[in-house]
Every structure is written in C-alpha cells, then in structure tokens.
C-alpha cells in the first residue's frame, strides 16, 4: 500500500457536509452516486470529477451488516422505535452498529479501480484516516488484530464497514466524537461482546467541537488518499425530513 501527499493535479473529491441525515435517504444517495461514478468510468465520460466524500451526522439508527447476527440486537425493536431509532439491514460488511448525533460518519464513494487500491488496503487507509484524526487531538489510537475498526486503550472508538462493487466503494466509517453512548447498550457492537465502546469526549479533558473533528478528518483524508477536497454547497443530503423520504 503506497500513499503520497496530494499534488496540484491530485484527483478532486467533492465533500458533502450535512447533519440530521435520514439513513434511508443517505443509502439511496450512496447507490445513485456510485452508479453515476461507475457509469462515467465505463463509458469513458468521466470528464468531470465524480468522486465524493460525505461527512455527516445521522438521526439515530442501528444498521445490520450483511453478516450480522440478529441476536446481537439486545433490545426489542419496539423499544428502539419508541426512542426514535430504526433497525435497517444494509449491504456493507460487519455486524450491527449504531449511528447518531455526535458521531462523525464518513461515506467515501471512490473509484478504487482507477486508484489501484485493493479493498483490504482501502479498509486500512480508512482506519488510518481515523488514527491520524485522533492524533491531532493527542489521542493514540491503534488497530487490533482480528478486530476491525479503531481502538483507544482497548475500547472501540470507530467502526469501519464497506462495500466495494465493481471497483466503486460505498459505506465507510463512524467515529464517536460525542454521541450518547447509552445507545450502544442496546446491541453487541460489531458482534464483539467483550469490547467497550468509547468516544473522544470521554477520553479528552475537554470535548472537541464537532467541526474541529471534521476539519481534522478532512486533512487526514486528503493526505492519505492523495486528493484535493472541495466542499459542495446545498448538498442533497441536507434538510430532507423523514416523511419526505418515506413518502
């Protein structure tokens, strides 16, 4: 795996920044965006940069990966719904996890084929972007053999789960900045029963602002993926009410 700093001719990745995002809406957006990127590549029409990176906060939701064990959801679905959270099966790797306010979710939709990045190396790069981000706040994070994601002092601070289809990536990672960690009591996170979940706010004497973490993550992503990030105004991920998505 070889990564170099971005140069003046580095590929452009468009950043979509949004909060309070409905999961199903983000799911549809990922599929549509990946299809456009794949079609442009296969028809040699990629004159405009089409790769994107969503940096968002979700409304409370539990997602079940393709290999998830339903028994790892410990709380009845009706009780989760009463708290305002859905449980949604998804096609990424991994088991069950939680997304919600205070958690930075990153969805890179990249052409890994064009970048000559193998899926296993892609996952390592995603983990490294989190490790770099946490280092900005003087948190020493690491990988743990046999346990995906990113860990600090034996507790999981970020989950990683991806899907690569015909060379195009979807899904991504979730970094716990300052979420309500009690949500994780409803599940066995990532199917690992003996692992604690932690957050930046729990580990640091003063919780960082969410935007400070976003800024640090952008810098880490730009470096590790040798890309130039440009923010999109009026992202279609922003401001879509749940009733509009479900209608």
Residue 1, in any domain of the structure: no
- The predicted structure's pLDDT at residue 45: 57
* Closest by CA position to 106, among listed 84, 139, 128: 128
Q: Which of 83-87, 97-101, 188-192 has the lowest mean pLDDT?
A: 188-192
Q: How many structural domains comprise the chain?
A: 1
Residue 158, in any domain of the structure: yes
* Residue 127: pLDDT band with limits 50, 70, 90: very high
Q: How many residues are given for the chain?
A: 247
Residue 247, in any domain of the structure: no
* Residue 190 designated active-site: yes
Residue 129, in any domain of the structure: yes
Give CA separation, 88 vs 14, 22, 99, 166, 191, in Å. Answer: 27, 12, 11, 24, 16
Would the pTM count as exceeding 0.85? yes
Provide the domain limits for residue 63. Answer: 12-43+50-232
Taking the C-alpha atoms of residue 212 and residue 78, their distance in angstroms, rounded to an integer, is 36
Residue 124, in any domain of the structure: yes
Residue 60, in any domain of the structure: yes
- The predicted structure's pLDDT at residue 147: 86
What does the pLDDT average to over 218-240? 90
* Averaged confidence pLDDT in the chain: 89
Taking the C-alpha atoms of residue 106 and residue 174, their distance in angstroms, rounded to an integer, is 6
Q: Which of 94-103, 210-219, 238-247 has the lowest mean pLDDT?
A: 238-247
- The predicted structure's pLDDT at residue 44: 65
What does the pLDDT average to over 179-205? 91
Helices then strands, each counted (H, E), the chain: 7, 12
In CATH, what number is assigned to the domain containing residue 135? 3.30.930.10
Question: 3-class SS at 138?
Answer: coil
Q: Pick the catalytic residue: 162, 187, 190, 229?
A: 190
Residue 213, in any domain of the structure: yes
Residue 4, in any domain of the structure: no
Taking the C-alpha atoms of residue 81 and residue 77, their distance in angstroms, rounded to an integer, is 6
């Amino acid at each position: 795996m070889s990564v170099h700093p971005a140069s003046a001719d580095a590929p452009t990745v468009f950043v979509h920044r949004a909060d309070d995002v409905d999961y199903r809406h983000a799911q549809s957006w990922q599929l549509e965006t990946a299809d456009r990127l794949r079609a442009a590549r296969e028809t040699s029409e990629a004159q405009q940069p089409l790769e994107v990176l969503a940096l968002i906060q979700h409304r409370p939701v539990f997602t079940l990966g393709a290999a998830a064990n339903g028994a790892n959801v410990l709380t009845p679905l009706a009780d989760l719904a009463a708290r305002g959270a859905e449980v949604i099966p998804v096609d990424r790797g991994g088991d069950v996890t939680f997304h919600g306010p205070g958690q930075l979710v990153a969805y890179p939709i990249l052409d890994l084929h064009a970048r000559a990045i193998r899926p296993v190396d892609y996952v390592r790069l995603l983990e490294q972007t989190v490790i770099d981000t946490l280092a900005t706040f003087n948190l020493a994070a690491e990988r743990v053999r046999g346990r995906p994601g990113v860990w600090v002092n034996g507790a999981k601070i970020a989950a990683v789960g991806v899907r690569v289809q015909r060379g195009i990536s979807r899904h991504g990672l979730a970094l716990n900045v300052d979420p309500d960690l009690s949500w994780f009591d409803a599940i066995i996170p990532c199917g690992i029963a003996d692992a604690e979940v932690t957050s930046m706010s729990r580990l640091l004497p003063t919780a960082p602002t969410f935007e400070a973490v976003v800024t640090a993550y952008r810098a880490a992503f730009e470096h590790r993926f040798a890309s130039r990030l440009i923010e999109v105004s009026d992202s279609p991920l922003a401001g879509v009410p749940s009733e509009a998505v479900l209608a």
